[in-house]
Amino acid sequence: MHQGAYLVGVAGGSGSGKTTLVRALCAALPAGMVCRVSQDDYYYPKADQFIDPNGKVNFDLPTAVDLDGLARDLRTLVSGDSIFKKEYTFNNDAKEPKLIELRPAPVLLVEGLFVLHHEPIRELFDLRIFIDASEGAQLDRRLKRDSMERGYGTEDILYQWTNHVLPAYRNYLMPHRHLCDLHVVNESGFDRGVKVLRDHLMQMAGTVEPIDIDKL
């Protein structure tokens, strides 16, 4: 465990529920206990992204994200200093990106597609969580999310899923699944998992007495 902070990495495929889990944990824990860090805020500009053979931008590659910058900022937070980042607006020109201040906290929750693939980030974590969801469930959630929140058409969503998202999931996430300490299944929800994680994080932050498993 790092002095002054407990680092938790949350990985999983697109639509597995990473952001939902992290938000639920933040809501369940006392104010000021958690600093939430999203890999999404480290995407390089669209103009710097890889173009696939069909002329489509591929955001589902480790090279699409400033992972070294994320690792550097995590070390800064662990050292007790705040950082400032512009939020990622998923290339929505109509949305003005906000300036985000990330402050040190007893627990750092870090979520993203490639946080396990990138070794300098992976080795910082005290706890590694993988969210398991079937590919069908992930696709259903992505169809709903990307159409409602990001304004993508169904044809574009399915193209990205087949040509970018699934290959990324299989090439850059699944090879690291076995390195995780905890697997949370999210086919229809994970309320029980949130409770277990909340209790664990409060214990690691020193806010509750250790749980005697034998007495449960």
pLDDT at 3 over 90: no
* The pLDDT value given to residue 188: 81
- Does domain 6-208 fall into CATH 3.40.50.300? yes
Q: What is the pLDDT of residues 28-63, one digit of tens each?
A: 999 999 999 999 999 999 999 999 999 999 999 999
Sorted by sequence, the CB contacts under 8 Å of residue 44 that are 6+ apart come out as: 64, 65, 66
pLDDT at 78 over 90: yes
Structure tokens at 191: 């309320």
- Report which of residues 88 and 118 the model is more confident about: 118
What value does the mean pLDDT of the chain take? 90
Q: What is the pLDDT of residues 184-213, one digit of tens each?
A: 999 888 888 899 999 999 998 876 444 343
For the segment 162-179, the average pLDDT, to the nearest whole number, is: 96
CB distance 16 to 214 below 8 Å: no
pLDDT at 10 over 90: yes
The residues spanned by each domain of the chain are 6-208
pLDDT at 109 over 90: yes
pLDDT at 2 over 60: no
CA dist., res. 145 & res. 149, Å (int): 6
